[in-house]
Amino acid sequence: MRVEPFSLRLSTPLSTAHGTIDARDGFVVRVEVDGTRGVGEASPLPGWTESLDDCADALERAQRTGCDGWDAALADLDDAPAARHGLALALADARSRAADVPFYRYLGGDSTDRVPVNATIGDGSVEETVAEARQAVEAGFTTLKVKVGTRAVDADLERLRAVRAAVGADIALRADANAAWDASEARRALPELADLDLAYLEQPLSSTDLAGHSDLRGDVPIALDESLAEHSVAAVVEAGAADRVVLKPMVLGGPDRAREAALAAREAGLDAVLSTTIDGALARAGAVHVAASLPDPPAAGLATADRLATDLIPDPAPVDDGHADVPQGAGNAPDPAEG
């Protein structure tokens, strides 16, 4: 097992609860399984996963425990989801290469060339939001996710009304509050969001407030994202807290765990939307493969390559006409060392 650090510049700075970042720092993870090499990506993001330093320490630990077998190494990374993701993806890449099948086929999916993805619309003014939404529709996107929560609720409702009027009734519209609202704000917004035929409202309340989200369910489907960094799908189901879950493989500890969570959610009657933490190309391709392994996946939050000014490899899953191409070569994606 070999670990190589990287730093990918963002095209625009990313504001998080832990401050503003202008690069995605992480590690390329390489393994060899029965003579076949595999490559993975560990891209920690504080607030979602362990820190960069903790990720490095966890990967160093995995290099030692890997001598006892890869299952032991993975089990030793439960406290470091990004590190576990890097190793799990590398192992899956090696095993699907050895089987000479694309990663999504190795996961059990049927042959498919593309998966639908949504366009993410920023939190600009009404005019900026409408212009961005129109551009996305012209580019072939049929699902739009609009960021809300940085303005007053009434201002966000005005933006969403303007988008709906601009793109028409046939475009699926999602809104993502990133846990910015309190219960009273969310309740005030829900009747108008229902009138806009919102596909779902994502993470309106704090990630810890499963009961509060349960109370909001009704007229508008509720999706949870940040909550999945702290609660299992089983806990979300038991609390009756959501109609949808948004699953980030890097946060959940690997593509294997993301697929398990998606299948568990579907079994419980919740749909599962794949997404990323603005990861590099290796992890992004892995998430596309997970989405492709599921029957009829909903539009995924995987059209994020343009958030990076630099990347590990040329995009292996480029987006066109509202869909991400599913890599068809053996394994997950090319090793950066091969380029």
Catalytic residue among 248, 257, 259, 289: 248
Catalytic residue among 145, 147, 174, 323: 147
**243 annotated binding-site participant:** no
Q: Among this protein's residues, is 147 annotated catalytic?
A: yes
Nearest to 121 by CA among 70, 156, 152: 156
Integer Cα distance of 116 and 274 in angstroms:
11
**41 annotated binding-site participant:** no
**320 annotated binding-site participant:** no
Contact 245, 258 (CB under 8 A): no
Cβ-in-10-Å burial (0-12, 13-18, 19+) of 156 comes to buried
Rounded alpha-carbon distances, angstroms, from residue 184 to 153, 199, 215: 10, 21, 11
Helices (H), ranges, the chain = 52-65, 70-75, 81-98, 103-106, 126-138, 153-167, 183-195, 210-216, 233-239, 249-252, 255-267, 281-292
Contact 83, 59 (CB under 8 A): yes
Q: Among this protein's residues, is 145 annotated catalytic?
A: no
Summarize the annotated binding site as residue ranges: 176, 202, 225
Active site residues: 147, 248
Summarize the annotated binding site for Mg(2+) as residue ranges: 176, 202, 225
